[in-house]
Copies of this chain bind each other. A is one copy, B any other.
C-alpha cells in the first residue's frame, strides 16, 4: 500500500510505502530537515508539523514540549506514514539558503599572499604547443613516435614521456585535424611526463582547474584560470551528507550500512558537480576543459569522497586507510570534468587531522617561522597545530559540534535567523541581540553562544560551573522541561512563536566543548614543555572562527588569555591551501612535507588531556590565574 506525502512549504509530494519512516520520506522528497544524528532519534532536531493525515509516532522522549505536541509537532525520524499526509517543515527545522559560508578572499589578495610565500604558476599539469613535420613515405614512424620526436626536439626528454590510452586513441585524429600543429597536456608524475590530452592547434591559453574544500558541513569550489591563477568564480553549498548526520562519527556509522559509503560519496560528488556546473555555465567555461582538481577535507571527508571505507577511523586505535590518497582520474569518483583530469587530495596526517589542516598550515606558514605559533581550525571538530620551522605537533580536541548547534536546544548554524551577538544588561538582565540577516531570530549560532556564555557569566546569571543562579530573581530565568533555562528572546521577538532559551543542559554542553579546545592547546604545549607565554601568534582558521569575538572567547576560557593582537584570523584556509597547491606544484610539495612533518598526538587516550579537560570545565578555568584579564574584569565588576 502506497501513501502520498506532501511537504510544505516546498510543496513536494512523494509516494511511499505504508509504514515508511517519515524521515525516509523527507529524504525521498529531497527536501531538507535538520538532523544531527542522521535519523536515529537522538537529537530531536527533525521536527515537522503534521498538517493533515495520520502518522504512528514512536517515543519522542523529551524532545517535544506539550505545546508543540498540541500544535501537531512530531519528530520525522520517529514517525511512520500510515496514510496520505500533508507535512509542514517549520522554520527551525529548515536549512536556510543564506548561510555565511566563508569562500575566502579575493583573487588579488590570495595571489599576492601565495606569491609572498614562494608560490608560482607552475602547476603539476602543463601544456606545450608543438609543430610536427607531416609523415612521408620515407619518414613513416607511428603517430606517437612522431610526437615523441617532436617533443624531444622541443626539449622534453622523449624517454620520459608516456601516453595514456585515451589520449592515444585521440592522437591520429587530432594530429591531422590540427594539421600537425597541436597542444599537448602533460601530467608530471615521478620522473615521467604523462600525456594527458592532445588538442589541435594552440590550446595553451584554455586551461582550467578547480580547488575544492569538502567541509563536514559545507562544500566550497573555486574555478580557476590556470594560465594566470585568476579565480574565475567561487560557489558553495551544504554538504548533502548532512542529512545522514552532522558530524564525522555519524557519517562513518552511516557508511558502514548497506550501500551507505556509496551513497555518501555520491552525495558529496553531486554537490561538487552542481557547483562546478553552476560556475562553468555562469562563466562560459566548458566543464570538460577542467583538467586538474585539488580537494581538501578532513580525513573522514576524504575517505568518503574517494569511496574508501572509513570505519576504522572511529574505533580505537583509530586507523585511517591512507593519509596520502593515490592520484586518480576525477571521473573515477564521478566528477564531471575532463575524462583525463587528475584528482589530488591534500594529504592527511591521521584519523582526526586531515588535508584541510595541512592546507591550513600551508597558508599560515607556521612551519617556516623561527618562533612557535598555534594554529586552530574551529569547524565541526577542532584541530590544533603547534610548532615552528623545526617541529610540528598536532591533535584533534573532539570539541564536538556544539558550536555548530548540535546538542543545543536552539542551536543552529550561522545562517539567516541566528542570534550571532548577545549583550546582557548587568542591572536588568535584559538581553540585546543581533540576528544574521536582521531577521526575527529562530535560534542561536556559535558566536552567539560564546557571547551568551560570556555575558551570562560576567553578569552573574551563571556561576563558574555554568549553573544558572536562580537567586538573582530575573523573570528571564525559569524552569523548563530540562531544568533551569534563560530566555534570550521572548515569544513576540522570535520568528517561531516561542521563546528562545539557553538551558542548563546547553550550558553544560558548551562548557564541555570550550574545555576540550582549551585542553587541546594546553596538552600540546605541555607535551612540548611550553606555556602559553611562548606562543608568538595564534592563527584561527575556519568559517566559524571568523566571527568569534576573541575577548569573549577568552572570557569563557575557550581561547588562552593572550594579548588580542596575537590572534590572527585566516578565514577558510582549507580552500585557500587547495587553491595554492592547485596553482603551484612547489606548494603542493610543501604541503606533503608539512603532513609528513606533523607528529600526531591522540588526545582521547591521553591522561594529561583528561586532567586539562577537567580543569577547564569551569568558567573560565579552575585556575583563574591563567586568565588574568578575566580575573581583573571580574574584580572590577565586583567593585562597581
Contacts and interface: CB of A to CB of B under 8 A. Distances in A.
Contacts of A165: 306, 326, 328, 332
Interface string A107-144: 00000000000000000000000000001110111111
A142 B325 CA distance: 11
A255 to B, nearest CB: 12
Contacts of A605: 137
20 contacts: A136-B317, A140-B319, A140-B350, A142-B323, A142-B348, A142-B350, A143-B312, A143-B319, A144-B322, A144-B323, A162-B326, A163-B326, A164-B326, A168-B325, A169-B308, A171-B322, A172-B308, A172-B319, A190-B190, A190-B191
Which 8 residue pairs across A and B have the least CB separation, nearest first? A144-B322, A137-B317, A140-B317, A142-B320, A142-B323, A165-B328, A172-B321, A143-B321
A308 B142 contact: no
A391 interface: no
A609 B143 CA distance: 26
Contacts of A139: 317
A321 B135 contact: no
Nearest to A136: B317
A188 to B, nearest CB: 14
Contacts of A311: 172
Nearest to A350: B140
A309 B136 contact: no
Interface in A139-177: 139-145, 162-165, 168-169, 171-173
A21 interface: no
A471 interface: no
Contact of A140 (B135, B164, B172, B351): B351
Interface of A: 135-137, 139-145, 162-165, 168-169, 171-173, 190-192, 306-309, 311-312, 316-326, 328, 332, 348, 350-351, 602, 605
Contacts of A136: 317
Of A324, A326, A602, chain B has the most CB atoms within 10 Å of the CB of A326
A143 B320 contact: yes
Contact of A173 (B169, B306, B309): B309
A347 to B, nearest CB: 11
Contact of A321 (B168, B191, B325): B168
A314 to B, nearest CB: 12
Contacts of A350: 140, 142
A383 B78 CA distance: 76
Contacts of A169: 306-309, 321
A141 B322 CA distance: 9
Nearest to A323: B142
